[in-house]
């Protein structure tokens, strides 16, 4: 998914496509002067993006604490570039044979995949296995990375998120509602909230992706975990009846008014506020929302009153409710040419300590195991951490395998799908045509 699909202020949720121009530029860069063996690095250089400060902060903490020895041998050095300039910067550095020791992976996995194929990005399964720390990665994070990077562990999961439905436990209790486990139960629950004068769902129609996530959620439950892969490889089309049916189910929620008034003009922050102020009973979102939930100034309903449930099952469906949509934020790749002993010691220390450091200092969940006990800020954080720990197979999201054009078409038409101005058939046709390049 492209950056237009991220949550505000953070570089999050990479996609799988790059423009033709990007691929051409990269192919040219990969054939230039960067093919030789690089000299041993003088520092643990890290190219990040201006918008994402979380990884930089955690690495700095490690350099002054658990990884002091490694930092003395190879000092951490952080450089930043605006998110919009990241891909161009990486292409330039690759062509010059000057990629830093580690760097924020490109906005589209296609860029990192190309660098990997050209031998410029380290095979981290191989490197972490040699270092004896491959087991420090969460299996679910590995599964997500491999799904995005053609089966390769090409990046490190400095961030890791799963998605599902947050709900107001207090409102549910007041109205005698049980946690829905099936789609039919979810629809019934939404109807009861509506009848009680409570908006069932908060969602940002302005961003679009919080609505299209519901479409892919239904598809993964009804058709199985390969539902969107079949669209990407051409063995199925979004205009096929079973795919249109998923869009129709979500459109029906909008037809019943379950997203409230003016959903098309609701932005991310407003939708978040609707849920955290108790104006909406449910909110489909990723686990990055835990920082908002833990903030008492934002969350007036109280963190203790927020629950989390998986996207519900679909009767007769091939998917499972323990298959959570997931992403690895803006992950980090390592330069294969500068992966020497000192770099390896840094990476080993990161693998063993990053998970605890990020959780303790910032309340963020990574794809690394938490080896030093960190008290959970609230019950829902504990629940999500346990869910991630136990998760074995994850899925992606609606636009993850789409072209840039199809992603834009999908998200810009999502609100009209749930308001009824675009039919489910037309919505899927528009996105399919964009994906097919028509």
Residues 115, 91 contacting (CB under 8 angstroms): no
By the 8 A CB rule, do 160 and 366 touch?
yes
CB distance 139 to 351 below 8 Å: no
What's the pLDDT at 438? 66
Element of type H or E holding 236: none
Instruction: Say how far apart CA 91 and CA 115 lie, in whole Å.
Output: 9
The 8-class DSSP code of residue 37 comes to P
Q: For residue 384, what pLDDT is reported?
A: 93
CA gap 1, 16 in Å, rounded: 7
Query: In which residue are the tokens 């108790």 written?
Result: 278
| Average pLDDT, rounded, for the chain | 89
Q: State residue 342's pLDDT score.
A: 98
Residue 258 has pLDDT above 70, yes or no: yes
Q: What is the pLDDT of residue 194?
A: 98
Mean pLDDT of 100-128: 92
For the cut 50, the answer to whether the pLDDT of residue 119 exceeds it is yes
Please state, in angstroms and rounded to a whole number, the distance separating the CA atoms of residues 234 and 80. Answer: 38
The predicted structure's pLDDT at residue 366: 93
Give dist(CA 84, CA 82) in Å, integer.
Answer: 5
pTM (2 decimals)?
A: 0.78
Query: Which range among 16-25, 34-43, 340-349 shows the weakest confidence by mean pLDDT?
Result: 16-25
Residue 388: pLDDT band (50, 70, 90) is confident
Average pLDDT of 34-56? 80
Name the residue with higher pLDDT: 373 or 260.
260
Helix or strand or coil: residue 193? helix
160, containing H or E segment: none
For 23-37, how does the pLDDT look when each residue is reduced to its tens digit (9 = 90+)? 444 444 444 333 345
Is residue 220 over pLDDT 80?
Answer: yes
Largest CA distance in the chain: 68
Q: Is the pLDDT of residue 345 over 80?
A: yes
Neighbours of 36 (CB within 10 A): 8
pLDDT at 340: 97
């Amino acid at each position: 998914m492209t950056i237009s699909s991220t949550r505000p202020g953070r570089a999050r949720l990479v996609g799988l496509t790059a423009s033709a121009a990007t691929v051409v530029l990269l192919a040219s860069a990969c054939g230039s002067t960067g093919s030789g063996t690089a000299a041993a690095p003088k520092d643990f250089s890290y190219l990040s993006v201006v918008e994402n400060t979380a990884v930089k902060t955690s690495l700095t903490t490690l350099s002054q604490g658990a990884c002091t020895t490694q930092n003395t041998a190879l000092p951490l050095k952080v450089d930043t570039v605006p998110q919009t300039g990241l891909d161009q910067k990486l292409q330039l550095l690759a062509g010059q044979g000057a990629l830093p020791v580690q760097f924020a992976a490109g906005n589209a996995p296609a860029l990192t995949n190309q660098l990997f194929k050209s031998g410029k990005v380290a095979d981290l399964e191989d490197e972490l296995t040699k270092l004896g720390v491959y087991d420090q990665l969460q299996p679910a994070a590995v599964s997500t990375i491999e799904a995005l990077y053609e089966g390769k562990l090409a990046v490190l999961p400095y961030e890791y998120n799963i998605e599902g439905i947050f709900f107001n436990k207090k409102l549910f209790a007041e109205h005698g509602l049980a946690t829905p486990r099936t789609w039919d139960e979810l629809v019934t629950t939404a109807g009861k909230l509506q009848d009680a004068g409570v908006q069932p769902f908060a969602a940002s129609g302005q961003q679009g992706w919080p609505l299209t996530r519901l479409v892919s959620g239904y598809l993964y439950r009804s058709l199985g975990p390969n539902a969107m892969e079949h669209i990407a490889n051409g063995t199925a089309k979004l205009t096929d009846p079973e795919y249109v049916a998923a869009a129709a189910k979500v459109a029906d929620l909008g037809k019943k008014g379950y997203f409230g008034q003016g959903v098309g003009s609701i932005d991310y922050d407003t939708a978040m506020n609707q849920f955290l102020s108790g104006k909406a009973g449910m909110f489909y979102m990723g686990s990055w929302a835990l920082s908002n939930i833990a903030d008492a100034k934002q969350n007036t309903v109280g963190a203790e009153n927020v629950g989390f449930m998986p996207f519900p099952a679909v009767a007769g469906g091939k998917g499972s409710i323990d298959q959570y949509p997931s992403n690895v934020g803006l992950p980090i790749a390592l330069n294969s040419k500068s992966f020497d002993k000192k770099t390896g010691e840094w990476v080993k220390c990161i693998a063993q300590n990053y998970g605890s450091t990020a959780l303790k200092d910032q309340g963020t969940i990574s794809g690394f195991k938490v080896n030093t006990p960190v008290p959970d800020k609230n019950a829902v954080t504990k629940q999500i951490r346990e869910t991630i720990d136990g998760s074995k197979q994850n899925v992606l999201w609606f636009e993850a395998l789409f072209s840039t054009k199809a992603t834009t078409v999908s998200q810009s038409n999502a609100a009209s799908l749930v308001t009824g101005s675009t039919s489910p058939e037309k919505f899927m046709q528009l996105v399919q045509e964009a994906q097919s390049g028509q």
